[in-house]
């Protein structure tokens, strides 16, 4: 089973992925997380991706598809893709890789969130630099300002969550990623969920889609 979570930055793909991957035994592949880890490790890939990520631009397709190909064993095939594909080129190369392996996408779940709400969520998000716990200064601040409740690590804003870069990322989503909605609708694997609801409500809706797939397929 291969499930793609599609949605603007801030729509909750990471939050939902954490729940879904453990509930359904899917390997969570989050390209943004991978790039951040590579940048922190100062690897060759990280050096190549760094300026794009910091500026809120997309990393070039060839780098992304090569990286994903290296992380995906399609034959073993139970994946939750979070943040990939993000362009038509990436979607087409994923289709080709899957076709070669006689595999296919089970479902694309689009977390639909109005731009203004996405902007609010991104600019108020804070993350623990040590353990990755996610906070929000408006709705879920850490108990002690700047310190993680779980590990006391430093809670800070992602460089690309600043107002200017968040706005750029949302524009990139509109221009380059939103065409994927029509692309996957045409393939009839598209489902849409209202991402403006509370995270637990969104999880329920997404699970209903995946449970429906399992019924059709007679199991994962
Ligand atoms: P995210 O954490 O998903 O918001 O991704 C953070 C950043 O990583 C993006 O703004 C891009 O610079 C880069 N990135 C993540 N996934 C992709 C992708 N599929 N294609 C190109 N760039 C990506």
Helix-helix angle 44-55:163-172, to 10 degrees: 100
Q: What's the CA gap between 73 and 87, in Å, rounded?
A: 21
For the chain, state the CA radius of gyration. 17
Query: Which 3 state secondary structure label does DSSP give 193?
Result: strand
pLDDT score at 76: 76
Which ranges of the chain have pLDDT less than 50? Answer: 220
Among this protein's residues, is 86 annotated catalytic? yes
Concerning whether 23 is annotated as a catalytic residue, the answer is: no
Our answer to whether residue 125 is catalytic in this structure is yes
Pocket of ligand 1 (CB under 6 A): 9, 31-32, 35, 52-53, 56-59, 64, 83-86, 90, 160, 169
Tens of pLDDT, residue by residue over 91-106, are: 999 999 999 988 999 9
Q: 5-33: b or e for each residue (b if 16 or more CB lie within 10 Å)?
A: bbbbbbbbbbebbbebbeebebebbbbbe
pLDDT, one tens digit per residue, over 135-182 is 999 999 999 999 999 999 999 999 999 999 999 999 999 999 999 999
pTM: 0.94
């Amino acid at each position: 089973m291969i499930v793609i979570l599609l949605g603007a930055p801030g729509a909750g793909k990471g939050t939902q992925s954490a729940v879904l991957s453990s509930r359904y035994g899917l390997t969570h592949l989050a390209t943004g997380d991978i790039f951040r880890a590579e940048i922190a490790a100062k690897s060759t890939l990280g050096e190549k991706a760094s300026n794009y990520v910091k500026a809120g631009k997309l990393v070039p397709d060839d780098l992304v598809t090569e990286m994903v190909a290296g992380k995906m064993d399609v034959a073993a095939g139970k994946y939750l893709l979070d943040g990939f594909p993000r362009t038509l080129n990436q979607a087409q190369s994923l289709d080709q890789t899957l076709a070669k392996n006689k595999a296919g996408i089970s479902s694309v779940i689009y977390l639909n969130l109005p731009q203004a709400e996405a902007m609010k969520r991104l600019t108020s998000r804070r993350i623990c630099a040590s353990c990755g716990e996610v906070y929000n200064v408006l709705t879920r601040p850490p108990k002690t300002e700047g310190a993680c409740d779980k590990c006391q690590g430093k809670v800070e804003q992602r460089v690309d969550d600043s107002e200017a870069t968040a706005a750029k990322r949302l524009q990139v989503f509109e221009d380059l990623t939103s065409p994927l909605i029509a692309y996957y609708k045409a393939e009839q694997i598209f489902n849409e969920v209202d991402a403006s609801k509370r995270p637990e409500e969104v999880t329920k809706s997404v699970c209903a889609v995946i449970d429906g797939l399992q019924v059709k397929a007679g199991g994962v």
